[in-house]
Structure 1
Amino acid sequence: MKTSEIGQYVDQLLEMVINETIPKGPHRGSIFGLVDSVYSREGCDKRVVVFGGGTGLSTVVGGNSRLAEWPENPFVGLKQEFSTMDVVVCTTDDGGSTGLLLKELPMIGIGDFRKVLLSLILSENLQETYGLDDVATGQLVRAIHAVFNYRFPEGFRKFRCVANPLLLLPQDLRKTVPRPLSNLLISLGTYISQGGDGPTISPGGHCLGNLMLTSAIFKSAGRTIDHPPGLAAITEGIELLSRAIGVPPGTLHPATATPGQLVLRYSNGVAVRGQDKSAITRRHLPIDRVSIECCDAPLVSPAVCNAIREADIILFAPGSLYTSIMPILQVPAIVQAIRENRKALKILGANFLVQAGETDISRRRWNRGLYVSELVEAYGHNVEGGAEGLFDVVLSANLEHISGDVLRNYALEGKSPIYLDRSRVESLGVLPLEATVYSPERLKRAGVIHHDPQKFALAVRTLLVAHQRLGLNRKHASSRTIPARSSNNTVTGAPPLCCYYREADAVLAEKRFHPRSLREIMREIIWENRDIRITHLKFFRAAQIIPASRWTRSKEWDNVLGYYDPEDGLLKIHEQVSDDPERIRDNLLIALGESLLGQYVEGRCWVNPENGNQWGARRYEIRLRPVEERRCFLDDGALRTYLRLARMMPKPHDPNTFGITLNDREGFLPPGLLFGLLYAWYLNNAYGEIMEYEMSLLRWPPQKLIPYQLEERTRKQALVRFFRNVVFQHRDE
């Protein structure tokens, strides 16, 4: 059969099984025999390995455990269809409760573990462990769900409900918790409470399940918080909670035990650190590359590698392309194990809709979101060695029966379906398939398109049966066109994020802030923008709000209300923005950027050009201080490179004098202000947004520009590269 014929055949099989469009019963030959094999639960004893993170992963393995109604139907999904399953979770999450933990402790991101841990609960395990009947099991699941998902309000500092989590439950549910589980939760809560033996973690903003898991891991590590818990401690902590709440031991694994963070590079060359930042920053550009920065070489459990090599199905769960799946595939040992398994059926679960900030802008055409073929190509572009051997089948949702009203509502939110371009996917050597794997109940009740865990799991088992008959992992395409990354781009040697935060806090403690609230704002800025190097904080001595009567900054060039004054070493913010936290952050970042140049200028002036002023021309010049007097972040060579990129050229016979000649009405950003604006824009274009217009040429393909614009585009590309490599110290490829 040709690839297209196999695809149509399996599409039909999926719809028959999932929608039960034919009667169950004995059939002979053709597609009906495969349907009977699925109904007879063939393949349930096969081994499945699932990769992912966030809501998508928890939904397909056992239902979305974040939903309030999850306890009403918790025993669904892949865990009910397959007896042996290993779930490998992304560890670069750094938002919400997890982000608060990473500020304090040297650890991996565990926020996604809580969701998956709940989703993996099995009724038979709870009944066997605690001797419960069905009714009591249902009540216990409700209690566990309530405790693990409870989130303390921001700023909450009382430890009573941490030390005894059952106090959060209504009296009727509290009685359903068996004493061994109650004792364990109290033990773990007490360990991290004030006066406990472990690290004291203030509960404000945290999910209680995250605190329980953190406590279990650090308790297993032997109370040390001086270095990250090892693989054994992480595994032991996960297993302790798994056994206690009915999760099969050995099911849940971290992708790596080594702490690290995500690095995203956009098509304009800007590279930024942090998974959560990618979600809140809107670059309005396609993502070009993904990598991770780790404390050490990423350590993977041998059990994970063995499970991958022995798996019958390897599944990439639906979820965030660049922040849930791709970080896992930056771990070389995992990629190698996937490629070494040549017998497994490897399935890529495609999302229903494009995701803002990740898949909403195609690298091929910026006026639309990614197609399914571009999802496949993204793996080739971001994984060492390309997408070869990673997956055989891509499973997409069949949305043809979704009403126009629902799709219109999504479109109003900037979301559109991910289009399955079958022929192009086939040309990449991957079999494209469609199935109705969304939840009709949630569609009818809430008007949203979400994966149905039972339908998705049934689709996976159907594909396994089809694979056993048809060999879906045979490569049908005659050629492959997926671009491949030639080398691994994982950076090692980065300190744990808590060390970065503490070091930054120590530097800020030596400086004066007026009002004091500026210090907290600066701390938040630094955490949210971890591309800021610690050395960037050493060139100012104080920050303060300046009354309008004392504002001496010239407004000849700009109306920016924050700057660095090299005369007194202050970051100065105009009182006009004092009631607007976002504008304070904006101007603080600009002023911080300016401070990196220190006292590099000995003098500045306007001079008449040599040909007089008959053309309305004027010339601006600066003279550099001697190197030893500058107190500048940039060394002499880097400073001179930057000035040239800022259009300031050295005098032929006076290399310490730089200048630019302008016509009478030509606009100009002095190099100090330009540096500050670029610094803020690079970190978060929502701040230095005044630079969005200046840098907009980077959005245009070179072939559409005239020579002058092309020259300007090249210069601005060089500026971005300078900030990426020199100022923010990203490793270039």
Structure 2
Amino acid sequence: MLPGLFVKRWLFISLVGILLVVLGLAITARLTPVFFIVKFINAAIDTLANAIPRYVSGPLALLIGIFLLAWGQRRVLSSITRVLMPDGDEELVDVLITHHKLNKGPRLLTVGGGTGLSTLLRGLKKYSANITAVVTVADDGGSSGRLRREHGVLPPGDIRNCLAALSDEEKLMTELFQYRFEVGEGLSGHSFGNLFLTAMSDITGDLDKAIAASSKVLAVRGRVLPATLDNVMLWAEMEDGRRIEGESNIPEAGGTIVKVGCVPENPIALPQVIADIQKADFIIIGPGSLYTSIIPNLLVPGILEAIANRRAPCVYVCNIMAQPGETDGYTVSDHVRAIDRVAQTRLFDVVLAQKNPPSAKAIEKYAASGSNFIEVDREELGALGCPLVLANIMKENRDGTVKHDSDKLAGVLMRWYNRQ
């Protein structure tokens, strides 16, 4: 009986259908159904009233009828639940409520890559099932790089992480997709999900179709789309004049990045990405490595133009800690300037940054690897005309590592969106 389940209307239609079936049978049998039905009901009521007083028989019949109706419906739902949800972890009614609520959620679109984007998606999927994750395909390191070089496929690593983050399937299936082989000639270092996506790319003909097939296997809530199907190679110009080619080589080069680009120079955006940007209710850029996860998506002219001409509100989520080799010593305003230089315009309405720095233990741990907490420089952001939202969206682990907290980050973003 809860509102929003779309059950009551179908129960009512079913009852109307039963009445029409009875009426149709009566008419077909050349009876006068209204007369006989009314006559039968009157006779039944008179008989019951003569045997038992009306003030007893009436409420008794009503209670028995309600009991039978409730018992019958409960048994029907119980039978359906045992088939659809054999583990019995949740009530079917809770699943239905969640399903309808999420399907009515806003159209969210995220842009990025790496672990930052998958962290965000784990939180956002609790607010809406209408999520599109636009993922960079510039990765050329690790398992993705090997598959890219050996099989000529687009790098599946970031896409695999996002599919796993949005998965609504059993935990075992997600763990299988993320499983990484540690031994075996040719297998060591590869994840099962990367191999699966590579195989599906060969079977279906392109990565886009492979992702769609994988999404069905994992029961993905939303969809993951590559920014482009072109074979993109990232490059960066350093302050000392060096040109570094390859996404995985850029952080290792050392020095200050002054410009990034890609080959081909103008990769073609996936048409579905452009359509989803135009239909989005809320666009989120980041979090993720500035030069190797976020900006590569903006190097696709179609995506850049679509975001620049958007109607939906847009937020940039700044990283918590600097990326060694990419954003050493950067502040929040430095991140904003880097995106402004690439876009030649302001793409977002506000920047979201971590309010409080991590513990001294975490600061010391990251300093040893050349990283630092990204300071919030309010005056510089004010000079840039960039509104700022500060919130505690960080999760610090016992070993001193920090990352965005999926639930806190998604909660802050959705509260901001709801105020717009």
TM-score range, shorter chain: 0.7 to 0.9
Give the corresponding residue for 2:406: 453
Per-residue CA deviations over 1:564-583 (Å, capped at 9, x if unaligned) read: xxxxxxxxxxxxxxxxxxxx
Q: Which has more helix, going by share of residues?
A: 2
Give the corresponding residue for 1:118: 164
Pair 1:304-2:304 in alignment: no
Give the corresponding residue for 1:148: 177
Give the corresponding residue for 2:214: 241
State the alpha-carbon separation in 2 of the partners of residues 407 and 101 from structure 1.
Answer: 36
From 351, 355, 360, the counterpart of 1:398: 355
State the alpha-carbon separation in 1 of the partners of residues 258 and 103 from structure 2.
Answer: 39
Counterpart code for 1:304: V
Share of identical aligned residues, percent? 33
Post-superposition shift, 1:299? Answer: 2.4
Give the corresponding residue for 1:435: 391
Given the two structures, how large is their TM-score scaled by the length of structure 1?
0.42
Question: What pairs up with 1:596-615 in 2 under 5 angstroms?
Answer: none
Question: What pairs up with 1:621-640 in 2 under 5 angstroms?
Answer: none
Pair 1:316-2:285 in alignment: yes
- 1:204/1:310 Cα in 2 relative to 1: closer, same or farther (>3 Å)? same
Residues 392 and 429 in structure 1, CA contact (< 8 A), matched pair in contact too: no
Post-superposition shift, 1:420? Answer: 0.9
Give the corresponding residue for 1:289: 259
Give the corresponding residue for 2:200: 216
Post-superposition shift, 1:323? Answer: 0.1
Q: Secondary structure at the match of 1:50?
A: strand
Per-residue CA deviations over 1:594-647 (Å, capped at 9, x if unaligned) read: xxxxxxxxxxxxxxxxxxxxxxxxxxxxxxxxxxxxxxxxxxxxxxxxxxxxxx
Residues 102 and 109 in structure 1, CA contact (< 8 A), matched pair in contact too: yes
Counterpart code for 2:291: Y
Residues 42 and 465 in structure 1, CA contact (< 8 A), matched pair in contact too: no
Q: Secondary structure at the match of 1:446?
A: coil
From 131, 135, 140, the counterpart of 1:94: 140
Residues 102 and 129 in structure 2, CA contact (< 8 A), matched pair in contact too: no
Post-superposition shift, 1:278? Answer: 1.6
Q: Secondary structure at the match of 1:405?
A: helix
Per-residue CA deviations over 1:443-471 (Å, capped at 9, x if unaligned) read: 3x33322111000000110111222xxxx
Per-residue CA deviations over 1:308-331 (Å, capped at 9, x if unaligned) read: 112121111211000000111000
Post-superposition shift, 1:297? Answer: 4.7
Give the corresponding residue for 1:378: 338
Pair 1:57-2:117 in alignment: yes
Give the corresponding residue for 1:349: 317
- 1:463/1:44 Cα in 2 relative to 1: closer, same or farther (>3 Å)? farther
Post-superposition shift, 1:273? Answer: 0.6
Residues 258 and 297 in structure 1, CA contact (< 8 A), matched pair in contact too: no
Residues 93 and 275 in structure 1, CA contact (< 8 A), matched pair in contact too: yes
State the alpha-carbon separation in 2 of the partners of residues 317 and 381 from structure 1.
Answer: 17
Given the two structures, how large is their TM-score scaled by the length of structure 2?
0.72
State the alpha-carbon separation in 1 of the partners of residues 202 and 150 from structure 2.
Answer: 13
State the alpha-carbon separation in 1 of the partners of residues 182 and 315 from structure 2.
Answer: 40
Give the corresponding residue for 1:330: 299
Residues 262 and 293 in structure 1, CA contact (< 8 A), matched pair in contact too: yes
Give the corresponding residue for 2:371: 415
Unaligned runs of 5+ in 1: 1-40, 63-76, 127-139, 158-201, 222-232, 361-368, 468-733
Post-superposition shift, 1:345? Answer: 1.2
State the alpha-carbon separation in 2 of the partners of residues 111 and 376 from structure 1.
Answer: 27
State the alpha-carbon separation in 1 of the partners of residues 266 and 239 from structure 2.
Answer: 27
Per-residue CA deviations over 1:355-378 (Å, capped at 9, x if unaligned) read: 100000xxxxxxxx0111111111
- 1:210/1:42 Cα in 2 relative to 1: closer, same or farther (>3 Å)? closer
Post-superposition shift, 1:44? Answer: 7.0
Give the corresponding residue for 1:387: 345
Q: Secondary structure at the match of 1:324?
A: helix
State the alpha-carbon separation in 2 of the partners of residues 219 and 151 from structure 1.
Answer: 22
- 1:410/1:297 Cα in 2 relative to 1: closer, same or farther (>3 Å)? closer
Question: What pairs up with 1:563-602 in 2 under 5 angstroms?
Answer: none
Residues 109 and 259 in structure 1, CA contact (< 8 A), matched pair in contact too: no
Post-superposition shift, 1:110? Answer: 1.5
Pair 1:265-2:234 in alignment: no
Residues 156 and 194 in structure 2, CA contact (< 8 A), matched pair in contact too: yes
Counterpart code for 1:461: M
Residues 197 and 207 in structure 2, CA contact (< 8 A), matched pair in contact too: no
Question: What pairs up with 1:467-546 in 2 under 5 angstroms?
Answer: 467=420
Post-superposition shift, 1:421? Answer: 1.0
Counterpart code for 1:301: L
Counterpart code for 2:402: I
State the alpha-carbon separation in 2 of the partners of residues 52 and 457 from structure 1.
Answer: 15
CA RMSD, Structure 1 to Structure 2 (Å) = 2.0
Give the corresponding residue for 1:358: 326
Per-residue CA deviations over 1:342-363 (Å, capped at 9, x if unaligned) read: x311111001111100000xxx
Post-superposition shift, 1:427? Answer: 2.3
Counterpart code for 2:162: V
State the alpha-carbon separation in 2 of the partners of residues 387 and 117 from structure 1.
Answer: 31
Q: Secondary structure at the match of 1:348?
A: strand
Residues 61 and 119 in structure 1, CA contact (< 8 A), matched pair in contact too: yes
Give the corresponding residue for 1:638: none
State the alpha-carbon separation in 2 of the partners of residues 330 and 145 from structure 1.
Answer: 31
State the alpha-carbon separation in 2 of the partners of residues 217 and 102 from structure 1.
Answer: 12
Counterpart code for 2:338: A
Q: Secondary structure at the match of 1:152?
A: coil
Counterpart code for 2:355: N
From 88, 108, 114, the counterpart of 1:48: 108
Residues 137 and 226 in structure 2, CA contact (< 8 A), matched pair in contact too: yes
Unaligned runs of 5+ in 2: 1-100
- 1:267/1:436 Cα in 2 relative to 1: closer, same or farther (>3 Å)? same
State the alpha-carbon separation in 2 of the partners of residues 412 and 104 from structure 1.
Answer: 35
State the alpha-carbon separation in 1 of the partners of residues 180 and 400 from structure 2.
Answer: 27
From 139, 145, 154, the counterpart of 1:108: 154
State the alpha-carbon separation in 1 of the partners of residues 252 and 180 from structure 2.
Answer: 21
Query: Post-superposition, which runs of at least 4 consecutive aligned residues in structure 1 deviate over 3 A?
Result: 41-44
Post-superposition shift, 1:300? Answer: 1.9
Post-superposition shift, 1:151? Answer: 2.2
Number of corresponding residues: 320
State the alpha-carbon separation in 1 of the partners of residues 279 and 178 from structure 2.
Answer: 34
- 1:432/1:44 Cα in 2 relative to 1: closer, same or farther (>3 Å)? farther
Q: Secondary structure at the match of 1:276?
A: coil
State the alpha-carbon separation in 2 of the partners of residues 144 and 279 from structure 1.
Answer: 33
Give the corresponding residue for 2:251: 279
Q: Secondary structure at the match of 1:326?
A: helix
Give the corresponding residue for 1:625: none
Counterpart code for 1:350: C
State the alpha-carbon separation in 2 of the partners of residues 118 and 45 from structure 1.
Answer: 20
Counterpart code for 2:210: G
Post-superposition shift, 1:289? Answer: 0.3
